[in-house]
Amino acid sequence: MDITMPELNGLEATRQIRKAVPETQVLVLTVHESEELLAEVLRAGAHGCMLKSDAGRELVSAIEALTRGKPFFTSKVAGILLSRQVGHAWSSDTIDFAGPHLSAREREVIQLLAEGKSNKEVATLLNLSVKTVQTHRANIMRKLNLHSLGQLIHYAIRNGIIAC
């Protein structure tokens, strides 16, 4: 699974796949090294994650590990995930990275807004009311201490929600 995809990002696709077929083993490939994004990979239910730069030498090992029901994270990804978790239990339910936690829906809204969609278009795509989208947008801006759409787009790019 690639994280950066238009319309439906890889995190939401992973959530939907795992909900529909829970036994599915999802391996995420990404170019992004953001702690927050990698924590979201775990929260979404992925069983493995690697940087695209490592795929050439580790993709087969990752697929073999997931086939055996074992999680797989490249050493760089594991290091990023563990760097702020020393002394804490390591599970997708207990990961607590510094900074605000955004819900899956908020990440979807950020992605679509950053892709240039209007509130109305986001509402239509996510089957929400425009008022709900506006509320999500206001909550996102408050949580992230952002004051403009430009800052929101910058955040989305920096955290791998969209690619530039």
pLDDT score, position 163: 66
Own/partner pairs, 142-149, CB within 8 angstroms, 24+ separation? 143/100, 143/102, 143/106, 144/100, 144/102, 149/113
Choose the final residue of a domain: 50, 82, 114.
82
86 has pLDDT over 80 = no
163 in any annotated domain: no
Paired with 49 in beta bridges are 28, 73
Indicate whether 110 and 143 sit together in one domain: yes
Q: What is the predicted pLDDT for the residue at 100? A: 63
Final residue in a domain of this structure, among 82, 115, 131: 82
pLDDT of residue 107: 85
Give the domain extent around 72. 10-82
133's tokens: 């989208």
What distances in angstroms separate CA 81 from CA 49, 70, 125, one per listed residue?
A: 11, 17, 32
65 and 113 co-located in one domain: no
Mean pLDDT comparison of 6-10, 21-25, 69-73, highest-scoring range: 21-25
Give the strand pairing for 72-73 and 27-30. Answer: unpaired
Domain at 65, CATH number = 3.40.50.2300
| Per-chain mean pLDDT for the chain | 81
Considering only CA atoms, which of 73, 84, 76, 85 is closest in space to residue 33? 76
